[in-house]
Amino acid sequence: MKRLVEEIEDDGFTPFIGQRITLLCMNYFYTGKLIAMNEDFLELADAAIIYKTGAWVDKIWKDAQPLPGNVRVRVATIEAYGVWK
CATH code assigned at 39: 2.30.30.100
Q: Is residue 41 part of a domain?
A: yes
5 domain residue, yes or no: no
Burial classification of residue 47, based on how many CB atoms lie within 10 Å of its CB (0-12 exposed, 13-18 middle, 19 or more buried)? buried
- The pTM of this model reads 0.85
Taking the C-alpha atoms of residue 54 and residue 40, their distance in angstroms, rounded to an integer, is 30
| Residue 22 counted as domain residue | yes
Q: Which domain holds residue 69?
A: 14-82
Domain assignment of residue 3, yes or no: no
- Tens-place pLDDT, residues 30-82: 999 999 999 999 999 999 999 999 999 999 999 999 999 999 999 999 999 99
Rounded Cα distance between 81 and 23, Å, is: 5
Residue 48 maps to a domain: yes
Number of domains present in the structure of the chain:
1
Rounded to whole angstroms, the Cα distance separating 65 from 26 reads 18
